[in-house]
C-alpha cells in the first residue's frame, strides 16, 4: 500500500502572521491508494500526544464546516492529529445530500481515513462526526469495533424532524465502542429525553453532553460560532476517554 500524499495549502499573504494566533494552517491530505479515496484537511499538532481524530461532516455540508474547523483547531492544540474529511459521496458531488446507496461506501471511506491517519498517529484513533457523519461512524464501529478507540457524535440524527417513530437506532444494540454524544436542547432530530432513552440501548460506555439552547448546528450557523463549545467538548472527551 502506498503512503498517503500530503500537500500543504498555500497560506494567505495579507500581512505578517499574528503572534496571538496559535492555529497552524491545515494541509491538504489525499490518499488515492485506497478505494474510496481519502480527501480532506490535516491539522498537525505542534506537540503531538500520539492520538488522532477523524472528523466527518453532516449530510448537507463538507469538511469546511465551521463546527469541524473549530473542533479540529482545538484538538490539534491539545496534541491530536486531526483529519477533517470529505465523505465519498461529497467527493463525488459538491452539493446535496447523500443518496440511499451511499452509506456503505461512506463507511468504507471512514475506515480508510482512520487507516491513513495511523501513519501519523501512533496512539489511539477516534472517529467523530456531525449528524450523518457521526451516524455512519457509529454504524462502522458497530460493524467493526476495532475501527476506533472511541466515538465523538455531534448532533446524532436520532430521527427525521417531526418523525419520532423513524428511529435510527438499529445498530445501537451492537455498539460497544465508547461514545460521547453532544446534543443541543433544541435539536429537531431528537430531544434530550429521546436521546437519553436511546442511549439505554447501547451496551458500550456512553455519555451525553448537552448544549443549552442549541439546535442541530450546535450554534455554528453561517458565521455564528458557539463560544467555548469546542474547548468544552475537548475537556469532556479527555475525561470520558481516559477511563
Tens digits of per-residue pLDDT, 112-148?
A: 999 999 999 999 999 999 999 999 999 999 999 999 9
Nearest to 201 by CA among 179, 171, 181, 180: 171
User: Quick check: 67 and 100 in contact, CB under 8 A?
Assistant: no
pTM value > 0.95: no
Domains of the chain by start residue, with CATH = 23-94+101-242 (3.40.50.1820)
Burial of 95 (0-12, 13-18, 19+ CB in 10 A): exposed
Q: Is the pLDDT of residue 3 over 60?
A: no
Amino acid at each position: 500500500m502506498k503512503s498517503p500524499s500530503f500537500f500543504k495549502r498555500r497560506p494567505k499573504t495579507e500581512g505578517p502572521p499574528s503572534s496571538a494566533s496559535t492555529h497552524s494552517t491545515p494541509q491538504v491530505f489525499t490518499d488515492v491508494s485506497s478505494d474510496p479515496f481519502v480527501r480532506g484537511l490535516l491539522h498537525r499538532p505542534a506537540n503531538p500526544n500520539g492520538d488522532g481524530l477523524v472528523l466527518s461532516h453532516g449530510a448537507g455540508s463538507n469538511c469546511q464546516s465551521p463546527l469541524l474547523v473549530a473542533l479540529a483547531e482545538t484538538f490539534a492544540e491539545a496534541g491530536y492529529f486531526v483529519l477533517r474529511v470529505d465523505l465519498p459521496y461529497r467527493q463525488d458531488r459538491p452539493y446535496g445530500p447523500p443518496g440511499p446507496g451511499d452509506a456503505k461506501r461512506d463507511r468504507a471511506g471512514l475506515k480508510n481515513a482512520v487507516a491513513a491517519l495511523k501513519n501519523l498517529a501512533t496512539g489511539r484513533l477516534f472517529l467523530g462526526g456531525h449528524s450523518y457523519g457521526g451516524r455512519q461512524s457509529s454504524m462502522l464501529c458497530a460493524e467493526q469495533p476495532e475501527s476506533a478507540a472511541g466515538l465523538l457524535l455531534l448532533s446524532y440524527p436520532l430521527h427525521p424532524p417531526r418523525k419520532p417513530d423513524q428511529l435510527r437506532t438499529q445498530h445501537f444494540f451492537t455498539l460497544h465502542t465508547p461514545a460521547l454524544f453532544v446534543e443541543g436542547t433544541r435539536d429537531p432530530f431528537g430531544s434530550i429525553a429521546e436521546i437519553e432513552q436511546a442511549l439505554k440501548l447501547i451496551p458500550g460506555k456512553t455519555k451525553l453532553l448537552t448544549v443549552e439552547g442549541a439546535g442541530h448546528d450546535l450554534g455554528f450557523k453561517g458565521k455564528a460560532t458557539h463560544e467555548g463549545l469546542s474547548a468544552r467538548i475537548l475537556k469532556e472527551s479527555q475525561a470520558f476517554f481516559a477511563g
